[in-house]
Amino acid sequence: MAKNSVTQISATKRSSHTRRRWQREFLQRMHQKPLPSWRCIGVDIGKYEHVALGLDGHGTLLGDPIRFGVQRRHYQEVFGIIDDWCANVDTLPVIGMEPTGHYYEQFAYEVANRYGQEQVFLIQSYDVSQRRKTWNKGTFKNDAVDASIIAEILQEGHGRPYRPPKGIYQTLYHLERYRWAREQAATRLKNQIIGHVDRLYPGLVIRNRELASRYKPMFRGYWKQKTLRRLIKLFPDPYQLQKHTFMSLYEAFREADLWMTRPYAKKILGAARSLCLPDPGVVEVRKEMLLHDLESLSFAESQVTMAEAEMASYLDQTWGKWLRPTGVREPLLASLVATIGDMNNYHSSRQIFGRSGLHSGCSDSGVKQRRGQGKRIVTPGDRHLRRQLLRFSYSMTPRYPVLLQYRAKLYARGLSNIQAHVAISRRLTGVVYSVATKPEPFDPGRFQ
C-alpha cells in the first residue's frame, strides 16, 4: 500500500456542541499535541490473525501493515514495532479495533496492560463498512484497507473508550453470553423438532393463521400447547398412535401423570387418524431423531434456567436491585445489568442508548424531508445491549398505562411496532440511568 493513500481528515468538522462527550475528550487530549506526533493505530481483528496499521495526525502512514498472530510472541513483536513508531515523538499510541465477537478481547486486554486502558478505543463495524463505501464505493476490501479505515476513524475521534467489565459485572457478562448461547441452541433445536413433527404428523399443526382458519388443524402451535408436546413425546411414531382407542390414549396420559380428558382424547385420536402418514421407513428414522432432539432441548432449557438463576442471585450486588419494583422478571433484569455493565462508566443515558446503536436509518432526501425519521432499524452498536433494551421495553410497556398511551401515539404517527418500542426503549434507558445513579428504588407511582 502506497504512503499517503489514506484519505486525509475532512476539513469540515462537526461543531463541538454536537460531538459526543467521549469524542470531545479524545480530541481535546490529542489536540494538545502537534499533528506529526499523533500515533493512531488501527487493528483489523481476525480469529487467528490481526492486521495493524498506523497513521500520524496528517493521515500519513507510519509504515507497512503489520500482520501478526494471537500468541504472546506475536503480540510482543507488534508492540515492539509500535514502540519504534513512537520512539521519536515521546508519545503513547492510541489503538482502535473493531469489537468483533470475543476475538478482540484478549488483544484489547494486552494493549491495556501495556499502554493503559485509556489508550484503547473500539470502532463499530457498521462505521467501518459505511466509511469503506464512501472511500472506494465498496469495490475493494482486505484486512489492510479495514485497518487503515479504523485508524482514520480513530484519528477523527469516533472511537468509543474501552470499558471492560470488572468484578461482579464481569461475572454477569460471561453468564449472560453463556445463557444467550444456550438459548440460541434451544431455538435451533425447536426449529428442528418442528421439522420432525411436520414430517411425522403432516397437517396436525399449522402455524400460518390464514391456512389454519382454512384447514382447521388440531393444533395451531407447538410450543404454546403443552398437550401437543406431551403427545409427541409419548407417541413419536404416528402408526403407534393410530392403533390406540380413545380410552387407551386417555389411560396412557394418566399413567404418565399427564392431564387428559376422555372427550379430548377422542378428538386428538380423530385428528391423528385423518392424517396421511409418511413412509414407515421415514418414521423409523425420524422418530429417533425427534426423541434425541427433545432430550437435547430439555437439557439446553435446563442450562438456560440454571444460568438465569445464578445471574438473578447476583442482582442485589448491582444497581439492578433498584429496578426490582418494576415487576420485571429477575432474570431479565440481570441480563439488562450484564449488558449495560457498571453504571459508573457512563456520563448520561444517551451514552448507554448510543452504545446500543438502536435507531432507525435516516430516509431524508433533497426532495422529501422526514426530519431524520427512518423506516427500518439499522444495527450498529452492541447487539446484546440492543436486544436487552428491547426485551425490557416489551416487558415494561404492558405494566404501565403511560407507556401504553405513548405507544398508541407512536402507532398513530405511522410507526411500526418495532420502531415504537425503539422510542420506548430510549425513554426507559433514561429511567434506568436515573434510578441506578441516584440511587433509589424505582417508584411505580411516579411512573403512572
Taking residues 59-66, report their average pLDDT.
Answer: 91
How far does Cα 297 stand from its chain's mean position? 22
For 281-313, the pLDDT digits (tens) are 999 999 999 999 999 999 999 999 999 999 999
Taking residues 443-447, report their average pLDDT.
Answer: 81
Burial 153-191 (b: 16+ CB within 10 A, else e): bbbbbbbbebbbbeeebebbbebbebbbebbebbeebbe
pLDDT at 76: 95
For 229-287, the pLDDT digits (tens) are 999 999 999 999 999 999 999 999 999 999 899 999 999 999 999 999 999 999 999 99
**Per residue, what are the HEC states of the chain?**
CCCCCCCCCCCCCCCHHHCCHHHHHHHHHHCCCCHHHCCEEEEECCCCCEEEEEECCCCCECCCCEEECCCHHHHHHHHHHHHHHHHCCCCCCEEEECCCCCHHHHHHHHHHHHHCHHHEEECCHHHHHHHHHHHHCCCCCCHHHHHHHHHHHHHCCCCEECCCCCHHHHHHHHHHHHHHHHHHHHHHHHHHHHHHHHHHCCCCECCCHHHHHHHCCCECCCCCCHHHHHHHHHCCCHHHHHCCCHHHHHHHHHHCCCCCCHHHHHHHHHHHHCCCCCCHHHHHHHHHHHHHHHHHHHHHHHHHHHHHHHHHHCHHHCHHHHHHHHCCCHHHHHHHHHHHCCHHHCCCHHHHHHHHCCEECCCCCCCCCCCCCCCCEECCCCHHHHHHHHHHHHHHHHHCHHHHHHHHHHHHCCCCHHHHHHHHHHHHHHHHHHHHHCCCCCCHHHHC
Residue 150 has a CB neighbour count (10 Å cut-off) of: 33
pLDDT at 418: 87
Rounded distance, CA 14 to CA 9, Å?
A: 12
pLDDT at 8: 34
Is residue 425 within 8 Å of 393, Cβ to Cβ?
A: yes
Provide the mean pLDDT of the chain. 87
* pLDDT band at residue 379 under the 50/70/90 scheme: low
Is residue 242 within 8 Å of 276, Cβ to Cβ?
A: no
Is residue 168 within 8 Å of 318, Cβ to Cβ?
A: yes
User: pTM, whole model, 2 decimals?
Assistant: 0.83
pLDDT above 90 for 37: no
User: Cα separations (Å) of 362 from 112, 370, 371, 374, 382?
Assistant: 36, 8, 8, 4, 19
Taking residues 389-417, report their average pLDDT.
Answer: 93
* Amino acid letter, 212: A
Cα–Cα–Cα angle for 68, 71, 74, nearest 5°? 40
pLDDT at 372: 45
pLDDT at 327: 92
The domain ranges of the chain are 16-164, 171-309, 329-447
Asked if the bond preceding 439 is cis, omega within 30° of 0, the reply is yes
pLDDT above 90 for 12: no
pLDDT above 60 for 15: no
Is residue 363 within 8 Å of 29, Cβ to Cβ?
A: no
pLDDT above 50 for 13: no
For 118-161, the pLDDT digits (tens) are 999 999 888 888 888 887 666 667 888 899 999 999 988 888 88
Q: Which cell numbers in the block locate residue 357?
A: 446503536
* pLDDT band at residue 364 under the 50/70/90 scheme: very low
Phi, psi of 359 (to 5 degrees): -160, 165
Of 15-24, 363-372, 389-398, where does the model show the most confidence? 389-398
pLDDT above 50 for 328: yes
Rounded distance, CA 442 to CA 445, Å?
A: 9
For 342-357, the pLDDT digits (tens) are 999 888 888 898 888 7
- Measuring CA to CA, which residue among 87, 107, 86 is closest to residue 98? 107
Lowest mean pLDDT across 42-56, 214-228, 261-275, 378-392:
378-392
pLDDT above 50 for 112: yes
For 89-105, the pLDDT digits (tens) are 888 899 999 988 889 99
pLDDT at 51: 95
* pLDDT band at residue 322 under the 50/70/90 scheme: very high
For 147-200, the pLDDT digits (tens) are 999 999 998 888 888 999 999 999 999 999 999 999 999 999 999 999 999 999
Rounded distance, CA 35 to CA 201, Å?
A: 71
* pLDDT band at residue 416 under the 50/70/90 scheme: confident
**CATH match of 16-164 with 3.30.420.140:** yes
Rounded distance, CA 182 to CA 56, Å?
A: 44
Rounded distance, CA 258 to CA 410, Å?
A: 45
Taking residues 70-94, report their average pLDDT.
Answer: 92
Is residue 253 within 8 Å of 235, Cβ to Cβ?
A: no
